[in-house]
Amino acid sequence: MASMMKQFVIFALLSLLACTTNAQLSTFFYSRTCSNVQIIVRNTIRQAISREPRMGASILRLFFHDCFVNGCDASILLDDTTSFTGEKNAFPNRNSIRGFEVIDTIKSNVEATCTGTVSCADILALAAQEAVVLLGGPSWRVPLGRRDATTASQTAANTNLPPSTANLSTLITLFAAQGLNARDMTALSGAHTIGQARCTTFRDHIYNDTNIDPTFATTRKATCPGPASGTGDDNLAPLDVISPNRFDNGYFQDLVARRGLLHSDQELFNGGSQDRLVRMYSSSFRAFANDFANAMVKMGNISPLTGSNGEIRKNCRLIN
């Protein structure tokens, strides 16, 4: 009996040790080493958004495209070099992903007061949250302590990031592969309440799909010519037709009215498993905001590098 007790105590101590050495992200991570990091990020993001309202959306997407490719490790920020192939030119990112200059500005502002302390991965997580708040969305406390990758994977970017042609089951599968459930997926898709998409990503939907409001399709066709014209690929349209620069639940109201811009958007409200949730979000901003914030924390927890893994990059575009 006594030896069983002893075994139990040793087991308990070992589990405790395992928990403390297997570092977790923490909202207090920089409270002693860079207590004003969030303020610095907020001020720089505010400037960037006042210069160009779309930038908030671009930064939010940057975080998503970072986290889905081998975790939230700032791998997306690495530039291609002659000896290094990064993620920037992967199919879902090429001619599309943007906001790198803003991240560079934040990084240099942070470095000026907290040299060599804050990772680019954490800057991206904080910047995404500040962008959402500044555009009217929910706030949440951002767990921190991520470190930066020394590698990137163009192949993983091509495989893991969802294409606009995806159907509902593919979307659910791609998010499940990252530990996110269907509800997380639908809530996170609400990010499309801000930002823009290029004609090339929604042409098939407005010309060929039938689950679309015909008036909306006609409006979009006016600036997104059909394939025969061979032009207009990069023409932009707002992902949320109601309020493209406002982080509200307009996106879900669009879906219910069959005014989703992307094929993948409308898949969330097309007679399938997410219809009920889409309807609920379309009538309750609070329900959406709450689920979105929780899902953002969950997405931000995808395979972070912690402890002595990875590095704190000096320049977000280059490994040290």
Ligand X SMILES: *[C@@H]1O[C@H](CO)[C@@H](O)[C@H](O)[C@H]1NC(C)=O
Residue among 253, 264, 270, 274 that touches ligand HEM (CB under 6 A)? 264
Q: Is 57 in the site for ligand HEM (CB under 6 A)?
A: yes
DSSP-assigned states of every residue in 99-123: -HHHHHHHHHHHHHHSTTTS-HHHH
Mark 142-171 with x for binding to ligand X (rule: CB under 6 A) and - for no binding.
-------------------------x-xx-
To ligand X, the closest distance from the beta carbon of 228 in angstroms equals 8
- Which residue in the set 177, 227, 276, 286 belongs to the binding site for ligand X (CB under 6 A)? 227
**Is residue 171 close enough to count as binding ligand HEM by CB under 6 A?**
yes
DSSP states along 66-77: HHTTTSSSSGGG
Residue for token pair 């002659």: 82
The residue number whose beta carbon is nearest to ligand HEM equals 195
List the one residue from 38, 158, 196, 290 that touches ligand HEM (CB under 6 A).
Answer: 196
| H-type alpha helices, 230-274 | 250-256, 263-267
- Residue type at position 150: T
> Where in the sequence numbering do the catalytic residues fall?
65
Query: Which residue's structure tokens are 């002893």?
Result: 6
108 binds ligand X (CB under 6 A): no
What are the C-alpha distances in Å from 286 to residues 104, 245, 249, 256, 298? 33, 18, 9, 18, 18
Closest CA to 128 of 221, 198, 66: 66
Q: How far is the CB of 222 from ligand X (least distance, A)?
A: 15
The stretch among 7-15, 133-141, 149-157, 189-197 that binds ligand HEM (CB under 6 A) is 189-197
Q: For residue 198, what is the DSSP state? A: E
Rounded to the nearest whole angstrom, what is the least distance from the CB of residue 235 to ligand HEM in the complex? Answer: 10
User: Do 253 and 240 touch, CB atoms closer than 8 A?
Assistant: no
Q: Which one, 4 or 222, has the nearer CB to ligand HEM?
A: 222
Using CB under 6 A, list all residues that contact ligand HEM: 54, 57-58, 60-61, 64, 96, 98, 162-164, 166, 171, 188-189, 191-192, 194-198, 201, 239, 262, 264
